[in-house]
Amino acid sequence: MKNKYQILLFYCYSEIEDPISFKNNHHLFCIQNNIKGRIIISSEGINGTVSGKRKDCIRYMQELSSNKLFSEIDFKVEHSENNAFKKINVRLKSEIVNSGISSKDILKNKGEYINPSEFKNIVKIQPKDVTILDVRSNYEHKIGKFKNAVTLDLDNFRDFSSKIPEIEEKVKKTDKVITYCTGGVKCEKASAFLKKNGYENVYQLHGGIIKYGIEEGGENFEGKCYVFDDRIVKDVNSINPIVIGKCYVTGEKTDRMVNCANVLCNKHFPLSNKGAEIFNGCCSEDCLKNGKVREFNGSGFYQKKLNGYNPYIGIDKSKLSKTTGK
């Protein structure tokens, strides 16, 4: 059966009183229902990308949606011939996206949502008093971004709060600012932080790039979208696609994103076929000659060996209880 798997991208900011118990119960539920992927849980909510067979994903969405804590959760659902993950990883962290921006108070004044259909017209028209701001990291927007979007020199989203001076150089405070990211979780905090720093007319693309691609065909998204699963990047634009990525080694255009074949480096970078031949999938001659180099497999994704993998590792049975918020 073609496309028997689904890939779910989701997040929800919601105060979880006992995140430790919730994390353990949720981890166990994923195992029992054949769900694989990466999930982050904290006192401020949940954020994840998971995959599984269609019936299992439906059950998973029902489980989260029926919890009153996550009544506003919005799943971005994609279909796939293969499972996007090999294992389940549920982690407890201080934030559901690493930002250094406290969510408890700041999210009370976040940017308003703009739905994908409205955003499509804005990108097409490009009004002079509107700035479309990409709040993702460098390696993400180098392989794909919206047409004429403003990007930031950002190695990691946790540094976003230090980028106000750069934003002020590129974006007028009188402009209507529309932030976007992959699925929306970063924009919640980014839009609120901009408002806290003097930008009054701030909005965010609801559901991010992925939702826009699903609902509006991804028109005027240039390149591919970096995703946090085994695919590394995915097609978003089925209407007017172009390639904007430039091979890190040769400078030629490419839409393939890889991890450096050198285990000690593991850098994210665009790599063409010609570039792959030069350094055998590494980003530089130095990486090729120093350290442990994996055999380049063409995709640039290197699955960690699953020898001895136990999905129950990380579950504290003493912390299992009834799911919080039901």
Amino acid symbol at 10: F
Place of tokens 């799943």: 75
Q: How far is CA 82 from the centre of its chain?
A: 19
Q: How far apart are CA 104 and CA 81, in angstroms?
A: 39
Q: Strand 45-53 vs strand 5-13: parallel, antiparallel, or unpaired?
A: antiparallel
Q: How many CB atoms lie within 10 A of CB 33?
A: 15
Catalytic one among 30, 181, 187, 283?
181
Place of tokens 């934003």: 167
Q: Are the C-beta atoms of residues 26 and 17 closer than 8 Å to each other?
A: no
Q: How far apart are CA 181 and CA 241, in angstroms?
A: 18
Task: Give the Cα-Cα-Cα angle 146, 111, 240 (nearest 5 degrees).
Answer: 15
Q: Are the C-beta atoms of residues 41 and 91 closer than 8 Å to each other?
A: yes
Q: How far apart are CA 207 and CA 151, in angstroms?
A: 19
Q: Which two tokens stand for residue 294?
A: 């994996």
Tell me, yes or no, if 57 is annotated catalytic: no
As annotated, the active-site residues are 181
